[in-house]
Structures are given as structure tokens and as C-alpha cells.
Structure 1
Amino acid sequence: HNSHDKLTKVLICTQFLEAENIPVLAWPAYTPDMSPIEHMLHMLWIDLDRFVNNI
């Protein structure tokens, strides 16, 4: 796949959503705020810290 194919798909999807009056959020393609692994690792570090401090 090249970037032209991806752009074409994006444009087709965008036009469809607009034609069907489907609301969408403007959101970047990559955002760490939406990365579940980032939140999971944070919770793991907190649990690990508690475990080590209770030994």
C-alpha cells in the first residue's frame, strides 16, 4: 500500500460519514492518551512499587 491509497480511503470514509451526518471527533492518528498499554504499565509500576515497599 502506498500513502495515496491510504489517503483515498480516508477521503471516502470522511465523505461517507459527512453524507450520513455521523458525528466524528477530530483526533490525531496516534495519541498516547488512548494507548491502553501505557495505562496498564503505569498501574503495574504502582503495584510493583507497593510490593517492593512491603517486603
Structure 2
Amino acid sequence: MGLLPEDSSEHLVKRVIGLPGDHVVCTDPHGPVSVNGVAVVEPAHLEPGAAPCR
């Protein structure tokens, strides 16, 4: 898949949901992630049945 090995010194960013200064919260494993008090609508990139905050 092109993912980096565990011993790599590189970073792998899968997605960015907040920027410096943003307040990102996930309080419920079945609820939405919120950024600055606004729920993030998870697009179709989640697998069916996957929880957005797992």
C-alpha cells in the first residue's frame, strides 16, 4: 500500500482534521469528532461499520 515501515524515521499523515490552535475533541467512541465545537461530518472514506472515534 505504500505505507512506511514501523522503524522508519518518516511521518505518515493519513488526514488532517485540525490546525494549530484548533480544539479537537472525541468524547464518545460512537459519536462524531468535533473541531472548535462543530461536529465533523465523516465522509464515505470510513469503512462500513467503523466508528469515527476509534
Larger Rg: 1
Q: Which has the higher contact order (CA 8 A, sep 6+)?
A: 2
TM-score > 0.5, shorter chain as reference: no
Smaller-chain TM-score range? under 0.3
Where is the strand percentage greater, Structure 1 or Structure 2? 2
Where is the helix percentage greater, Structure 1 or Structure 2? 1
TM-score, normalised to structure 1, is: 0.21
